[in-house]
Each structure stands twice: as C-alpha cells, then as structure tokens.
Amino acid sequence: MPVNSSTFFGGVLSLLFSLLLWKVSFSLSLDWLGASVAGIVEEPGKLMALFLVVNITKYRYILNGLLFGAAVGTGFATFESAGYALRAALADTDLMLDVILIRGILAPFSHIIWTSMSAGILWKIKGAKKFEVSMLKDARFLKVFGTAIVLHMAWNSPIEIPFYGKYLILGSIGWIVTLGLIQSGLKQLKEEKLNILKHERLNM
C-alpha cells in the first residue's frame, strides 16, 4: 500500500474510529478531563486504522511500522487541521491562516510522531509473525503507546510555557522515543542483511 494512500485512507479511517471512541468517552463521562481526553480517544483511533496493514507480510519491518504510523498520523492531523481552519475562517481569514501556519509548524511534534512510535513498537513486537491481540498487552507496547497517550494529553492540557515551550518539550520527548525505534529498525535491517549473506555463503 503506497504511503500516500495510507495517509489519505488512514487519516479518514482514524477519524471515523476516533469519532466512535468519542461517543464512548461521552458515555463514560470523561469530559472532566477537558481537551486532554483526546489523547485517550484519538491515539487508539489511529492505532485501529493501522490494523488494516499490520499483517501485510512484505511490510513486516520496524521501519515499515514507523512509516505507516507517520502516514496515518499525518492524514489524521491534516483532516483535523482542515476542520480547525474552516472553523477559524468563519470568524476571520487572518485567524485561519494563523491556525494553518501554527499547526503546520507543530505537526512534526504531535500526531505524526505519536502514531509513528505506537506503530513502530507494535511492528517490532510482531516481527514476521501474524498480529495477535495479545501483542497489545506486551509491556513494551504498553509503555510506548502509553507514552503517546500521555504526550497527547499533556499537549492538550491548559498548561502553557512561553515561546511554545510546552510543545517543543513534549515534541522532543516524542522524537527521542521515535529515534530510538528508528535505530532499532536500522539494526533489524542490518541483521537481516547479514543473515542473508551468511545463508548465501553456506549455499555456495
């Protein structure tokens, strides 16, 4: 599945799943969390969209997961930003442009890396095996996925730090986790390449 298709369809599906989960959150009376409840709702929604590609054999590597996660996160952020921009445009055109600019600048620090890290760790746990729901109970997955949820909740919290400090700090934490998974992905490819070379030498 091409990345551009994953971005569009993944974005649409993640929005639909998130809308369903929003209804669940309302029934559970989680509105006391304010805007932070989005972390609990939207991160699982985006993850659910990734289940459509998790079992495609040729996309079994950690880097595949990171890429698909980033694509779905990008699609989700694009549609979400479009909604915010439209709402702002109804009030003021300049406000709409500000919304687009700010959300565009902050995009690499939010949905893109949150979904990427969640997908990356899931692909790492799954490896070449078929996806099983039990993998979602793996401590490694829960740790990274939980981090994504907490980062999202903190991002939406009313706490503010001058000069967009809150977003830069949270984004940096997300990137540290993501870069660690990228390193794991590169190591995985290196080891597989060495195994292929070893196998070829044995068959010479």
- The string of pLDDT tens digits covering residues 53-72 is 898 878 899 999 999 999 99
Q: What angle do CA 95, 164, 93 make, to 5 degrees?
A: 5
Per-residue pLDDT band for 3 (boundaries 50, 70, 90) equals low
Contacts of 113 (CB under 8 A, 6+ apart): 70, 73, 171, 174, 175, 177, 178
Give dist(CA 156, CA 158) in Å, integer: 7
- The string of pLDDT tens digits covering residues 65-112 is 999 999 999 999 999 999 999 999 998 889 999 999 999 999 999 999
**Does position 204 have pLDDT exceeding 70, yes or no?**
no
Per-residue pLDDT band for 201 (boundaries 50, 70, 90) equals confident
pLDDT score recorded for residue 19: 95
pLDDT score recorded for residue 195: 86
- The string of pLDDT tens digits covering residues 120-142 is 999 999 999 999 999 999 999 99
Q: Quick one: average pLDDT of 189-197?
A: 90
pLDDT score recorded for residue 58: 86
pLDDT score recorded for residue 57: 79
Which domain range does residue 81 map to? 3-202
How many domains is the chain built from? 1
% of residues, the chain, pLDDT over 70: 98
| Residue located via tokens 């729901």 | 133
pLDDT score recorded for residue 123: 97
Per-residue pLDDT band for 2 (boundaries 50, 70, 90) equals low
pLDDT score recorded for residue 145: 98
pTM above 0.85, yes or no: yes
